[in-house]
Every structure is written in C-alpha cells, then in structure tokens.
A = this chain, B = another copy of it.
Amino acid sequence: MNPPIDLMLNHRSIRHFEDQPIPHEHIQRAVEAGQAASTSSAVQAYSVMQITNPDTRERIAQLTGPQEKVARSGAFFIVCGDVRRHRLLAERIDKSYDAETEAFLVAVIDATLFAQNFTLAFEAMGYGICYIGGVRNDLYAVDELLDLPDGVYPLYGLCVGVPAEDPSPRPRLPVEAILYTDAYPDDEEILAQVDAYDAQYIEYLRERGADPVGWSERVAAKAAAAVRSDVGDYYRSKGAEL
C-alpha cells in the first residue's frame, strides 16, 4: 500500500458531478500542489483560469461539445501555457521577447506538469476530475470570450467536483507497449502489442454496456481524420512560434 500510487491507479475521469461548489481553500491547496511540480528552469510558464460566470461556463459548455458537465461541475478551470509574464519582464528591460518553438513547448510541458499535480490533489481531497480537450474545438471563440492577451495559450479545461458516478478505471496498454529499453521496437512488435490489448479493451467496453469497438480500430479511424485544424494558427496568432 502506497497512498499516492494507489490514488493514481484509482483514477478514472468523472463525467457526472453533484451540484456542490468547491470551497476556495481546496482550490488554493490544489494550486499550491500543482505549482510544486517541476518547472523548466523555474520559469513557471503557466496560469489557470477559474471560470465562475455562469453565462461564460454555459457558452464554453456549448463550444466544447456541447458538454453539460462543463457548465455543471463544482468548478471549471482552463489551464493555459503562459509566457505573458516573461514577455513583460523582457520588455521592461528593453529587450524583445524571443518566441520560438522551444518556448511554446516549455509552456505546454510546464502547464501540464502543473495540471497533473493539480488534478491529483483534487482527487486526493475526494473530488473527481475530467480533462476537457474540447476547449481546443474553437480556440478563437474561447479566446474572445476570455479576452486573452498575447502570450497566453489556453490548452484544455478541467471539470472538478463531487462525483455522482463511480466508473471503473479504463484499461491501459500493457507496460511493455510503453516502456522500451535502449532501442525502439520494430513495427511488427508494436502492432502485436496493440492487438493483444484490443481484447482487454473490448471486454471493458462490454462491461460498461458501450459499443465494443477495439482500441486499434478507434485509434486508426481517429488518426486518419483531421480535427481542430486551426490549433496551430491560433497559437501563432497569440505570439507563439511553432
């Protein structure tokens, strides 16, 4: 038994929440836990916006799906890569900010290290969470709604709240399909690992009463379909170089 590892292994996304707000001190605590994660050279290239305005939440719920939970969970956040502070500091000493792929990447990585601690801290306090990639369905609309300045890159939303459901964790690829030693495996080996996983994945879907489509079939269809094709242009419009 190891409480942090047990907590991680017990993770499942929660999509239905009780109608209960989250006390501010819990949010504060989760932010502190998030900030304690590693950050590239301590640059802390992220921020998190809590959206409390019901109209704004309703609008984002529409843009992301619609996904009702975005309007209804105990709290809703948007995690942003954020180099705004860095730009202002550079400009204050009359230097120009050097936007480059590396700086954008650091922002995405820093923000996501923060986010994983942030959500795990909420789970450690008994809440359920769900990442909302749907924020990237229409970044221009999200941006306009939140009036974001240059250097702020909204990445994904987070629903947090008291769970109103208790789903089981979704099975993951076998460890051998994720952890490689010294050499990257060849294509046949990768495909064999994935095929072995499909049976387990279909079983999980059957148990939940969901459409029993194998992981590889779903992923293949998804990989061949372009979605959110304006994501790169949007981040460039906010000053990122990709």
Task: Name the CB-closest residue of B to A29.
Answer: B5
With both beta carbons as reference points, the residue of chain B lying nearest to A110 in the complex is identified as: B112
Docked-complex contact B102 and A4, CB < 8 angstroms: no
Distance in angstroms between the alpha carbons of A38 and B101 in the assembled complex:
25
How many copies of this chain sit in the oligomeric assembly? 2
Q: How far is the CA of A95 from the CA of B131 in the complex (A)?
A: 29
Contact A231 B47 (CB under 8 A): no
> Closest residue of chain B to A119, judged by CB?
B38
Q: How far is the CB of A85 from chain B (nearest CB, A)?
A: 6
Q: Are A87 and B5 in contact (CB under 8 A)?
A: no
Q: Which of B3, B40, B100, B177 contacts A4 (CB 8 A)?
A: B3
CB nearest to A179 among chain B residues: B31
The answer to the question of A33 belonging to the interface, with a C-beta cut-off of 8 Å to chain B, is yes
**When the two chains form their complex, are residues B178 and A90 in contact, meaning their CB atoms are under 8 A apart?**
no
CB distance from A218 to the nearest CB of B (A): 8
A141: B residues at CB distance < 8 A? none
Looking across the interface, which residue of chain B has its beta carbon closest to that of A35? B172
| Count of interface residues, chain A, beta-carbon cutoff 8 Å | 118
Whether B178 contacts A219 by the Cβ 8 Å rule is no
The answer to whether B48 and A219 touch across the interface, beta carbons within 8 angstroms, is: no
Interface string of A9-47 (1 = CB under 8 A from B): 111010000000000000111011111111111111011
> Which of B9, B48, B242 interacts with A32 by CB under 8 Å?
B9
Complexed CA–CA distance, A232 and B36 (Å): 28
Closest B residue to A126 by CB, please name it.
B2
Interface: A116 (CB within 8 A): yes
Of B92, B121, B129, B179, the contact of A8 (CB 8 Å cutoff): B121
In the complex the two chains form, what is the Cα distance from A88 to B187 in whole Å?
7
A224 touches B121 (CB 8 A): no
A187-242 contacts to B, CB under 8 A, are 187, 190-191, 194, 215-216, 218-229, 231-232, 235, 241-242
Known: A2-B124, A95-B223. 12 other contacts (CB 8 A): A5-B33, A28-B179, A34-B178, A47-B179, A50-B180, A90-B223, A100-B226, A102-B227, A102-B229, A102-B232, A109-B155, A232-B241
Cβ contacts A to B, 21 pairs, < 8 Å: A4-B123, A8-B36, A8-B117, A8-B121, A9-B36, A31-B178, A35-B173, A39-B172, A41-B218, A44-B173, A49-B180, A49-B182, A50-B180, A56-B182, A89-B194, A100-B229, A102-B232, A112-B112, A112-B113, A149-B187, A232-B242
